[in-house]
Structure 1
Amino acid sequence: MQHWMELRTALMVARLGTVSAAAEALGVHRATVNRHVETLEGTFGAPLFHRHARGYALTDAGRDMLEVAGRADEMFADLEGRSRGKAGQLSGSLIVTALAGVAPILMPAIRDFQLAHPRIAMEFVAGAQLARLEYGEAHVAFRAGKKPDVPDYVVTLFRSVRFGLYASLDYIERAGFPEPDKLDRHRFVGSVGAARPLPYSDWMTANVPPEALALQTTDQQVQHSAVCEGLGLGFLPEHNARTRPDLVEVIAPGEAWSVALWVVTHVDLHRTTKVLAFLEHVRAQGTGG
């Protein structure tokens, strides 16, 4: 492929953000990186990067380049992986992104996949933003809520995440067991600032006055910690609450308080060997609710 070396260099600059970091990763001199970028910009007739003191940022042309070069790089890596895979040796990197709160659901699949393919370097990127799969930011994304409708994304249902209302033993010892018909006597931990309504938002609005809120938070992990520390009653994912013997179920999880968890891949990478292998392990773990 013409200019493949230059494309790989520009791809590394785009991913790492600086010429020096790209040069170190590729094992070449900074001048070589600059020359490769300038060659591509001359070929395309447009700048690929905005140069600034903190590094390089992509232009519109650069984002187009990154999308194409990233997929091409992944295809070459898959070709190498297929060759090794014939001997049972899948290799390379696999980047998975999801909310930190769903990690307990995903770790069994990640563990089984890594044990089956130890030459694969796994990376788990925790965050709320849906990674730009077309730019190679991740191979597989897990997202909760409404089904993502981004063009060229392959989206399938993984499982549902159910929420229940819980209290800590410490809270119960201090305030008594929260009877479902007498919850107005108790304190709560709530959510605030969510990008979209949470499955229990309507219940909280109807049943918990503002003065009953001991704490509100924008983060589910903080909410989990607050409930465990006895600040008040709070809604937690069932899979997280099960791991804490000091939590007591006040109202059982149900479908009304559930949210769909989707597995997302890019159409060009969906059928690469390592992604397919990982998805097999994901499907084996995706039967729970």
Structure 2
Amino acid sequence: MDKWAELRTAYQVAKLGTVSAAAELLGIHRATVNRHIDVLEAELGARIFLRHARGYALTELGEDVLRVAQKTDELIGDLAGRIRGGRTEIEGEIKLTILAPFAGLLMQAIAEFRTRNPLCVVTIDASEDLARLEYGEAHIALRAGQKPEHPDYVVSSFGRVGFNLYAHESYIQRNGLPKDSSELSRHKFVVPPPQDSRLPFRPWIDEHVTPDMVALTSRDIWVGAEAVSAGIGIGFIGDHEAQRRGGLTAMLPPDEDWSVPGWLVTHVDLHRTEKVQAMLNCIKSTRQSQAAG
């Protein structure tokens, strides 16, 4: 297939939603945009767009074409920047997918990245769904648990992320500080629902926290952290998040079973692009500072 111009045009239509917007961005006539789409669909032998009153919607094939076009556009843009040389700022969008409990570990790195590259927008998807990097759903993924084994992924260690049971000083003032785990039975807890079985501290909760000990439950990690910080009960929070919030005291000694290994994951096709390398460098340098601190 040698329809690179047509592919680029279709990508802009998909991204912007209308022929007019794509034509203006590309500096070509609307008729040329329509012709490029017709040529590309003829080449593929199927529709990539569904036309409607408000613009263009992608078909299932169009979604696949968009992912290929997006990756191609980024690689060509990165190559053009390297050829020009001397470019001091990175432009466009960089997408990260992370687990919500890890978000606080990346904000300093993202702030540093944005300071160096103010024209680049950072998009974060905080979800348990695993983004398919091979389809361009994210540039960088921060994953936890077993090391990803996909043959096209470049994987580096982020280090272990620890959790512990924390209580806010307002809760401790009202209910006292337990001396050890044997005294926890008279306390109230903030816990995720039983469905969240992948959490490293879930076995401890199942063993030690009975239904009558639960003050609040939520699947949202931020809701849980806010509840603990408000003194509603004792709950598991990432050590990094507890330190950031302040006013929280760990209830038990650190436990290796409550920590998980983290992994920075990129796709081999985009790993060496300037944008991805710049963000990875910021993440790794700030992570080293966090570990040293």
Q: What TM-score, normalized by structure 1, do the two folds share?
A: 0.86
Alpha-carbon distance, 1:226 to partner: 0.8
Q: Specify every segment of 5 or more residues in structure 2 that has no aligned partner in the other structure, as ranges.
A: none
2:68 maps to 68
Which stretch of the first structure deviates more once superposed, 179-188 or 195-204?
A: 195-204
Amino acid at match of 1:219: D
2:45 matches 1:45: yes
Rounded Cα–Cα distance in structure 1 between residues aligned with 2:17 and 2:161: 36
Aligned to 2:272, the other structure's residue is in SS state coil
Give me the CA root mean square deviation: 2.7
1:31 & 1:179 partners in 2: Cα distance?
76
TM-fit CA distance, 1:3: 2.9
Aligned residues of 2:153 and 2:267 also touching (Cα < 8 A) = yes
Q: Indicate whether 1:36 and 2:36 are aligned.
A: yes
Q: Give the superposition deviation at 1:112.
A: 2.9
Identical counterparts, % of pairs: 47
Q: Secondary structure at the match of 1:47?
A: coil
What is the CA distance between 1:80 and its match in structure 2? 2.3
Give the TM-score, by structure 2 length: 0.85
What is the CA–CA distance in structure 2 between the aligned matches of 1:106 and 1:87, rounded to whole Å?
A: 28
Tell me the equivalent position of 1:159.
Answer: 159
- Hey, what's the Cα distance between the residues in 2 that align with 1:46 and 1:21? 24
1:241 maps to: 242
Aligned equivalents of 1:19, 1:99: Cα separation in 2: 36
1:281 Cα deviation after fit: 2.5
Aligned to 1:124: 123
Query: Which secondary structure state, in structure 1, belongs to the residue aligned with residue 251 of structure 2?
Result: strand
Structure 1 residues 14 and 193: alpha-carbon distance in aligned structure 2, compared to 1, 3 A threshold:
farther
8 Å contact kept, 2:196–2:202: no
Q: Is the 8 A contact 2:224 2:235 kept in 1?
A: yes
Kindly provide the amino acid, as one letter, of the partner of residue 65 in structure 1. Answer: V
Query: CA 1:276/1:36 → structure 2, altered by over 3 Å: closer, same or farther?
Result: same
Q: Which amino acid aligns with 1:161?
A: V
Distance 1:103 1:127, change over 3 A: closer
Residues 191 and 228 (structure 1 numbering): CA distance in 2 closer, same or farther, change over 3 Å? same
Distance 1:81 1:234, change over 3 A: same
Structure 1 segments of 4 or more deviating over 6 A? none
Q: Which blocks of at least 5 consecutive residues in structure 1 are unaligned?
A: none
The aligned residue for residue 281 of structure 1 is 282
Q: Which residue is equivalent to 1:133?
A: 133
Q: Provide the C-alpha distance between the structure 2 equivalents of 1:77 and 1:183, rounded to a whole number of angstroms.
A: 57
Bigger mean CA offset, 227-236 vs 271-280: 271-280
